[in-house]
Structures are given as structure tokens and as C-alpha cells.
Copies of this chain bind each other. A is one copy, B any other.
């Protein structure tokens, strides 16, 4: 599919792309660069690529596809650095969780003849680093591409076909709209999860050991996304401020209403909301985006562990 793919950044997403390309034999050569020598050495040990270089300008040379898989705060510097070394006809893409900022940070540096197509796979786990990736991460998940005006359709199709080969469904969205959709489906949920875990960590009336012991009451569900990569998520909130503030405002208004219902004992309002929210989970399961096994299947695994022991 591609002759040489260059990956800049080799964490959870970058290493999953490398593994998926290898497993499905989608490129002749995978060249890997990342800012830390230690991570680069680890990628080499894991055999994720065919060549490794701490200098990104070296790996992008002759690459017909370059995918930036670093925290979005690093994009502008990477873009400036690699731009003069990109091959004419190459596709430059990324996997960042925000897209309007990415366009602003990279587009000015992209040379004529290079096809810049931002992308964002809606997939991940709470683990990070090159060990955390796996080839099937994108399978059955959506990948959003946010091409800018005048994008070459052949290049767009080539990139789309790569994600389809990974098992993803591809959706084309406007960058600004992407950022609004992700603010509610991903960014604000992360902020809220980080916040409640932080709140629980700060209490005087309830000890931390009690929070940990009795977390199966619901709290532990929040800790999964509150264990996501800190640097990546810092950059998301720094670069999608407007949409996050808008959605967070909605969330807070609704929470004030709910708080009022609790204060005044409005059982009808509470039950009406709690009934409505059930249906959304059902829709997500029907859309194949969630498991229908109770408790995310944790009980199933526990039972399996037992029988295996």
C-alpha cells in the first residue's frame, strides 16, 4: 500500500499503527522517530519498525506517508523541523485528538506538493508507551479524517484505505465540528473523570483507603480514563479550549439543575433522567461501540480467572 511509512512518536497509538501495518503487510518499510532515546530503544527492542532515528528529518526522507503520533503540543515544532525534508507527493497525517489547532499548527509549514490530511482514530486504552499498543486497536473503531479545502482526492482515498485496512470505519468531518463532537464524547468526560478522582483524593472526612476499598460502587469506572496519558491530555485541553469550555458549561448547567432536584427531593425529575440515559447505552451497544456484557465483562474475566487457577 505504501513504500515507506514514517511514524513520529511511538506511544500507544504510534506503536499500534506500526503493529497493524506489519501484521497486514501494508508497507515495505516503517521508519520510527521519537524524541526520547529510551523510548526509541524500546521500540527497537520490540521490533516495531525497520529503521529508527532520533532525528525526525531523517525518517521522513523518502517516506510516502508520514504520521505524527506525538502530543499535539509538539506538532508545530515537529512541522517546522520536518517540512523541508518531506518528499513531493507524500501524505502528511496525524492522530491528534484535536483538529482545528492541528491545522493551524501544521498547515503553514506544509510545502507545495505534500498532501496534508489530519486524522483522528477514536480508539485507545488507559495505558501509554510503545509496549501498550496492539495491532487490533483500531478494529471496529471509527477514524475521523478532517481534510482541508482543496485536498487531493487520490491522497485522501489512499489514507482512508489504510484505516479501512486497519479495520476502522472512516468518517470525514470538518475540523471545527470534529472538535465540538470530541469535546462532548471524549474531552469533557476525561476532565470530569480526572476531576472526581482528584476530589476523592483530597477529602478529609473519607480516607483514601476507604475510597479504594469501596470503589466498586461506581468510582472505579472513572479511574480508567483518569489514568490516561497526562501529557497528551494536558495538550488536548490547552488546544481545544473553546469547545471544551462550551461543553463544560452545558454540563455544569445541567449538574446545577440536578443538584437542585436532589436538594428539593424532586424524585420525578431524577427518575425521568435516569430512565432516559439507559437508552443511550443501549444505542451504543447496538452500534457495536460497546460490549453488552454486564460490568464491561469484568465479572466474566473474574470467573475465567478462577476456573483457570
Contacts and interface: CB of A to CB of B under 8 A. Distances in A.
A159 interface: no
Select the residue from A73, A127, A280 with max chain B CB neighbours within 10 A. A280
Given A291-B301, A298-B296, A218 B189 contact: yes
A181 interface: yes
Contact of A218 (B186, B235, B291): B186
Contact of A185 (B132, B217, B296): B217
A236 B251 CA distance: 22
A127 B294 contact: yes
Interface string A234-261: 1101100100111110111011001101
A186 to B, nearest CB: 3
Interface in A183-237: 184-203, 205-206, 208, 210-228, 230-231, 233-235, 237
A277 interface: yes
Contact of A296 (B122, B195, B267, B296): B296
Q: How many copies does the complex hold?
A: 2
Select the residue from A181, A248, A296 with max chain B CB neighbours within 10 A. A296
Contact of A184 (B141, B203, B228): B203
A293 interface: yes
A287 interface: yes
A2 interface: no
Interface of A: 73, 97, 122-127, 132, 134, 136-137, 139-142, 144, 171, 180-182, 184-203, 205-206, 208, 210-228, 230-231, 233-235, 237-238, 241, 244-248, 250-252, 254-255, 258-259, 261-263, 265, 267, 270-271, 273-278, 280-284, 287, 289-291, 293-303
9 contacts: A136-B303, A180-B206, A195-B254, A205-B246, A212-B289, A220-B290, A227-B278, A227-B281, A230-B271
